[in-house]
Structure 1
C-alpha cells in the first residue's frame, strides 16, 4: 500500500479494497495508477479545493488558525426528539440529552445538509473499471458519522458500502458530522482523520485529511445581542405581578435597544434566575455555501437537581439549537458556584504570548476554602482548547458569582475594543460620606417606596455609615476586588485607563438579619408569607439554599447593599440596562443613579434602569442574574 499522508491520532478510514468483475475500461499506461487524493476545507473558506492547492498545506494537522472543522451535530432540525415518555411521563435527564440529529443514522433537516462538513476526493480520471472501494470507519466510530453523496441523496457509510470506479473517476463527496462536543481530551481530543484508499491492479494508494470538532464557545460582549431570555411567573399574587411587570419592562428596553426578536420566556419551572441555569454558547464552521454555519448550544448548569435546566431540551432544542449537559457532578462540589452567573467571558485579546480570538472564560472559586465549580464542567470548558478558564476569588460573596462585581464593555474606536467594568465599593462609601458631610445624614439610605407586603427600608445615611458592618465589609470588598482586578490586568494587559469604576456597596446584612441568598428558585411570596421573611428594613432574612456551604469563622461573605449596577445586561454596543438604584435622593436626584450614569457615560454607554428590588435584589441578585442573551455568532472564532 502506498500512503500519501502521515499517521493520525484518531482515524476515520474510507478504504477501497477488493475488486469486482466489470466491463472493459481503459487500462493504465506504462506509469503507475493515479494516486488517491482526499481534500477537506483546510483554509476554512467553505470550499473544498480539488483543482488547486489552497486546501493541501496543513491537511494532516490541525491548529487554531488552520485545519478542517466538523460540527457536533447536536441540534434537532426536525423536532423529532421526544420530551416526554409513554403516558406523558417525564424523561430522565440522560434520555433528554441522548437525542439529537447525530444520534440517528440519516441526514436530518434540509437537503443541502448544511450541518455536514464536506470532504472530497480529487477525480481519478484514468482509473480502470476494475477498481472498487469499501468505505469503513476504523476508529472513532462511536463519535463520527460519514455519509456519501449519491444521486438518491446521502447514504450513510457502513461496512458493506462500496464505491465504484465511476464514482472515483468523477470524485466522491462525503459529509461528516460528529455526535458530541469534546468533554475530556484524555478520552477524545476531538480529532478525526479521514482516509481514502484506492486499490487497482494489485496496487493501493491512500490519502488522509484531519478534521477537528468545532469548539463549544461562550459569548462575549463584542457580539451583538439578538434576543433576550427571562422567566415568566404566572399568577395574580403580588410577587407574580412584580415579576410580570419586570418582564414587560425588559421587553420594552430590549426593543428600544434595537432588538427586534421577542423575548424567549421560560415558564414551566418558575426558576427566575435565567442567567444561572444556562450559559448560551455556539459551535460554528464555514458552511458549504461560504457562510458561517452556526448551531447554538445551551450549556446547562452543572446542577442536576435544578429542574429548570430541563426546559432547555423541552422548549429550546430544535433547528439550529442544541443542549449540552455534564454528568458526574459530585455532591461535595458547591452548588452555587455551578450557576452560570459564575461564568462570564472576557472579549478577544492577545497578551503575553497567548491569544484568545474567541475570548476567555472567567469563573469564581472560593479560595478561602478551596471550593471550585464542578470538575466535569471545568474539564469540558478547558477541553475546547480556546477559552481556557481563568479563576477569580469569590470567597467574599455569599452567592459567589463573578457577575456580581465584574463585567466587560465594548469600547469602539480603541485598540483593544473593550473595557472592564468593575464594582467600586470605595466610590460607594465616598458618596455616603460626602452626603453626610454636606448635612444629609438624616436622608433615608433607600428611596424605594416599599409596598404592602415588602416594607421600605428605614435606615438613614448616618445609620448606614454607623453600622457595625458596612464600612468594614466594603473595605474588605474593595481589597478583594482589587486583587481580582490585578489578576485580570496581569492576564489581559488591561490598563487602569481601560477600567470603568462603578459605585457600589456590599454588606453581609444588617445586625437584625442578613439578606437572603440567591436561591435556585425564589419562592413565590404572597402577602401572607413575605413579612416573616424580611427584617425591620424590609430586607429578606437569610434563607439558605440547598447545598450551600456555611462561611467559616474567618470568612465574611457579602452581597449587594445598593442594587449592583455592574450586574446589569448589555443590550447594545451603546445601550446598558442596570437595576434601578433606589439610593438616597438629595436635591431631587438619586446620588447613586447620578454617579452610575456618569461612570457609564464616560464609557460611551447610555444607561436605562429597571426596577428589580423586590423581584431579584432582595434575593441577592440583579437584572443580569434574572436574564440571559443570545448573541451574534457569525464572526470567525479563529480570527483575532
Structure 2
C-alpha cells in the first residue's frame, strides 16, 4: 500500500521538476494553472510512471471512450513510480488541456520526476533479521501477529571491569557491546547527483533523545570507529550520501527502562530534505519512521530452573552462618546448581542478600541476558550488585527515592512473582508481580513510589498489591511461596497458616503428646499444652490468620486460583507492638531449587523421634515430587527476624515465552 506524499502544482509556462520516493504517491494539482478556455484535460506518463485518476462518482461522470476528464476540484490525478530512477528526471508526466469543443490542445504542462528509494528498517517482525521495506513499522503492536522492533537497555558492562554500565558512555565499548544493540539499516537507491540538491537526515524527537543512542558503522572493524550520531544530546544527523546508492548500518541502544514518565516507545526517523535554492531553508520531501519498544525488566518465579544461588558468609560471632553455608552447599549440589558465596569483605556484615536485590532478565529477538535489580535499602550489601554482579552479559538497574527515605517494605524480600496464570480468561504467561503494602486506607508503610512505578511500567507482569504491613519486617516472603507441581496449574501456592498449626497441635495433644515441646535443645522450650492454653497466642493467631486470609482472597481473585491450588503450611506468629513475628522458624520462607526445597528447620515437638511439623510438611509437599531438606537457620537467621529465603537469592532461567507475544 502506497502512502500519500504531497501535492505538486504544475504550470503550462514552464516544466516542473520533482523528486518522488518509491512507495509514495504524488497528487498533481491540474486545476491550479488552468489555461484560458480550457474545460477538460488528459494525462499521460512514461513507462516508469503509473498514472491514475480518482473522482467522486456522485459528482463526476467517468468519460466514455475518451481519456479526457472535466476540470473539477473533485477530480484528482495521482502518480506512483514503479522503480527508482537510473538518471535524474528520467520520468515524465504530460497534462494536456482542451477547450470546450474538446478537439484541440490549448496548452500542455510537463512534470519531470526523479524517483529514489529510501527505507529505514529494523527487526520489526521480531525474527532476528532486519525486515527490509516492512510496511508496519510506524506502530508497535503486541501479540504473536504483532509487529515492531525491540530495543534492549544496554545495562551490562562489556567494557573495563571497573567501569560503569555500557550505556553510560557515548562510545562502543567492545564487539560484545554491539551484540546488546539493535541493528537498523538505512537503504538508499537512486541516480547519481540526487544529493546535489537533497540531503538525508536521521533524527529523533527531543522527548525520545534521552532514552536512546545510535551509533553508525563506518566500515572499520574497530569499536572505536563507530560514531555516536543520534540520541542523548544529539537530535539529528546528516547522513553522508556521496551518490544515489548506499546502505548505512546503525546500532541502537536503549538508555532507560519503561517507567512512570516513559511508556517505552521510541521513534527514529529518516527524512529527505530538498534545497530549492542555496539561500532558502530545506523543506521535507519524505519521512520514514521505525518504532522501537524498550524491552521490560522481567522477573522469574520459583518454578523457573535455578542457575546460580547467592548467599553471604558471616564468619564471626555467635550468629555466624558457617553451618548454614554447609547445608546450602549440599542442597545446591543436589539441585545441580552453582553456588556463589559473597564474602564478608563484600557484604560488610549484611547477611540479608534476598532483601538487597532481585534477579530478572531482558530479552530481544537476538539477545537475552540477566539483569539484577538493586533495591534502595542500602545497607552493608549496597555496593555488591553493582561492583560484583554487573559485568559482561549481566545487567544492572536500580531505583532510589530522591529523598532517600525507605522502609523495610522496600527490601526485596517484599517482592515476588507468581508463575504463569490465567485469570477469568485473561492469560498472564509471565506471571504477576507481588508486592507487599499496607492495609487499604491506612497511612502505614508502603513500598516507595519510585520502585512501585517502575514495576507497574514494565506492563507484562502487572503487579498485585498484598497486605504485608501486619508483619514486623513486612515482607510477602514471610507468609507465601510458590513451589512447582506436576499437575493442575504446574505449581502450588504455599501460605503460612496459624489455623493449620493449631489444628495439628490439638491433634497431637489429643493423642497424648501435650508434653512434647517446641525448641527442644534450643532457647525458650515450650510444650504443646502450654501453647494451646496460651490465650494471648490464640488471640494473636486469630489476628494473623485474618491478615493471611485477606491476602488469600486477593491471590485467589488476582491469580485465578482455587483452594486446590493452595497448601496451608503450619506456622505460628506472635504479636509484638501490634505487628507479627514468626514464633518458630518460618517454613514458607524457603529456598526453592526445582524439586529440592531448603526449608527452615522448625524445631517443632518431637514425637516418635520425628518433628511433627517436619512430618506434616513432608506429607503435604512430597506427594508433588518435591524433596524437603530442613536447614538449621535458628541462630544464624531466625533469631534475627529472617529465614532461609531471606538468606539466599537465586538467578533463574528466563521464560521460553517471548514477552512481545503477549497482550498486556
Shift of 1:462: 0.9
Alignment of 1:270 onto 2:349: yes
- Give the equivalent residue in structure 2 for 1:590: 611
Shift of 1:619: 1.5
- Give the equivalent residue in structure 2 for 1:258: 336
- What is the 5 A alignment of 1:69-148? 69-82=150-163, 99-110=164-175, 113-124=178-189, 128=193, 130=195, 132-139=199-206, 140-148=208-216
The partner residue of 2:257 within 181, 194, 202 is 181
In the alignment, the residues of structure 1 paired with residue 287 and residue 400 of structure 2 have an alpha-carbon distance, to the nearest angstrom, of 40
After superposition, the Cα gap between the structure-2 partners of 1:631 and 1:429, relative to the gap in structure 1 and judged at 3 Å, is same
The partner residue of 1:46 within 111, 114, 128 is 128
- What is the 5 A alignment of 1:358-377? 358-367=430-439, 368-377=442-451
Shift of 1:363: 1.0
Over aligned residues, Cα RMSD in angstroms? 2.7
In the alignment, the residues of structure 2 paired with residue 35 and residue 353 of structure 1 have an alpha-carbon distance, to the nearest angstrom, of 46
Q: Deviation digits for residues 182-212 of structure 1, max 9, x if unmatched?
A: 2323xx2222101112347867322101112
3-state secondary structure, aligned to 1:308: coil
Contact 2:356–2:382 (CA under 8 A) maintained in structure 1: yes
Structure 1 residues without counterparts, runs of 5 or longer: 6-14, 16-23, 83-98, 288-292, 451-455, 509-513, 515-550
Alignment of 1:211 onto 2:296: no
3-state secondary structure, aligned to 2:558: helix
In the alignment, the residues of structure 1 paired with residue 450 and residue 644 of structure 2 have an alpha-carbon distance, to the nearest angstrom, of 28
In the alignment, the residues of structure 2 paired with residue 197 and residue 163 of structure 1 have an alpha-carbon distance, to the nearest angstrom, of 10
In the alignment, the residues of structure 2 paired with residue 224 and residue 106 of structure 1 have an alpha-carbon distance, to the nearest angstrom, of 36
In the alignment, the residues of structure 2 paired with residue 584 and residue 112 of structure 1 have an alpha-carbon distance, to the nearest angstrom, of 57
- What is the 5 A alignment of 1:511-530? none
Contact 2:360–2:373 (CA under 8 A) maintained in structure 1: yes
Q: Deviation digits for residues 456-480 of structure 1, max 9, x if unmatched?
A: 3322111122224222222222222
Alignment of 1:438 onto 2:497: no
After superposition, the Cα gap between the structure-2 partners of 1:382 and 1:127, relative to the gap in structure 1 and judged at 3 Å, is farther
In the alignment, the residues of structure 2 paired with residue 495 and residue 58 of structure 1 have an alpha-carbon distance, to the nearest angstrom, of 42
Give aligned pairs, total: 537
In the alignment, the residues of structure 2 paired with residue 234 and residue 170 of structure 1 have an alpha-carbon distance, to the nearest angstrom, of 64
In the alignment, the residues of structure 1 paired with residue 370 and residue 4 of structure 2 have an alpha-carbon distance, to the nearest angstrom, of 37
- What is the 5 A alignment of 1:560-579? 560-572=582-594, 574-579=595-600
- What is the 5 A alignment of 1:21-40? 26-27=87-88, 29-30=90-91, 31-40=113-122
Contact 1:3–1:207 (CA under 8 A) maintained in structure 2: no
In the alignment, the residues of structure 1 paired with residue 228 and residue 641 of structure 2 have an alpha-carbon distance, to the nearest angstrom, of 52
Shift of 1:433: 0.9
- Give the equivalent residue in structure 2 for 1:295: 369
In the alignment, the residues of structure 2 paired with residue 190 and residue 32 of structure 1 have an alpha-carbon distance, to the nearest angstrom, of 38
After superposition, the Cα gap between the structure-2 partners of 1:156 and 1:369, relative to the gap in structure 1 and judged at 3 Å, is closer
In the alignment, the residues of structure 2 paired with residue 352 and residue 167 of structure 1 have an alpha-carbon distance, to the nearest angstrom, of 59
- Which of 1 and 2 has higher RCO (CA within 8 Å, sep 6+)? 1
Q: Does 111-120 or 277-286 show the bigger shift?
A: 111-120
- Give the equivalent residue in structure 1 for 2:245: 169
Contact 1:356–1:387 (CA under 8 A) maintained in structure 2: yes
The partner residue of 2:420 within 348, 351, 354 is 348
3-state secondary structure, aligned to 1:563: coil
Q: Does 175-184 or 362-371 show the bigger shift?
A: 362-371
Contact 1:344–1:402 (CA under 8 A) maintained in structure 2: yes
- The structure richer in strand per residue is 2
Shift of 1:126: 5.1
- What is the 5 A alignment of 1:545-624? 551=577, 556-572=578-594, 574-624=595-645
After superposition, the Cα gap between the structure-2 partners of 1:459 and 1:80, relative to the gap in structure 1 and judged at 3 Å, is closer
Structure 2 residues without counterparts, runs of 5 or longer: 6-20, 22-84, 92-112, 277-283
Contact 2:203–2:268 (CA under 8 A) maintained in structure 1: no
Alignment of 1:60 onto 2:134: no
In the alignment, the residues of structure 2 paired with residue 609 and residue 639 of structure 1 have an alpha-carbon distance, to the nearest angstrom, of 40
Contact 1:349–1:356 (CA under 8 A) maintained in structure 2: yes
Alignment of 1:248 onto 2:248: no
In the alignment, the residues of structure 2 paired with residue 272 and residue 358 of structure 1 have an alpha-carbon distance, to the nearest angstrom, of 30
In the alignment, the residues of structure 2 paired with residue 302 and residue 296 of structure 1 have an alpha-carbon distance, to the nearest angstrom, of 19
Shift of 1:297: 2.1
In the alignment, the residues of structure 2 paired with residue 127 and residue 111 of structure 1 have an alpha-carbon distance, to the nearest angstrom, of 37
The partner residue of 2:490 within 414, 417, 436 is 417
Alignment of 1:157 onto 2:229: yes
Q: Deviation digits for residues 259-282 of structure 1, max 9, x if unmatched?
A: 1x2324253222111111111122
Shift of 1:166: 6.1
Larger Rg computed on CA atoms: 2
Alignment of 1:483 onto 2:550: yes
Contact 1:40–1:59 (CA under 8 A) maintained in structure 2: no
Q: Deviation digits for residues 87-115 of structure 1, max 9, x if unmatched?
A: xxxxxxxxxxxx32111111123257110
Contact 1:266–1:311 (CA under 8 A) maintained in structure 2: no
Contact 2:202–2:269 (CA under 8 A) maintained in structure 1: no
Contact 1:62–1:68 (CA under 8 A) maintained in structure 2: no
Q: Deviation digits for residues 400-456 of structure 1, max 9, x if unmatched?
A: 111011112223453x33321111221111121111111111122223x33xxxxx3
Q: Deviation digits for residues 235-283 of structure 1, max 9, x if unmatched?
A: 4x4332xx12212221221111121x23242532221111111111222
After superposition, the Cα gap between the structure-2 partners of 1:602 and 1:127, relative to the gap in structure 1 and judged at 3 Å, is farther
After superposition, the Cα gap between the structure-2 partners of 1:81 and 1:179, relative to the gap in structure 1 and judged at 3 Å, is farther
- Give the equivalent residue in structure 2 for 1:426: 499
Shift of 1:284: 1.6
In the alignment, the residues of structure 2 paired with residue 123 and residue 507 of structure 1 have an alpha-carbon distance, to the nearest angstrom, of 73
3-state secondary structure, aligned to 1:205: strand
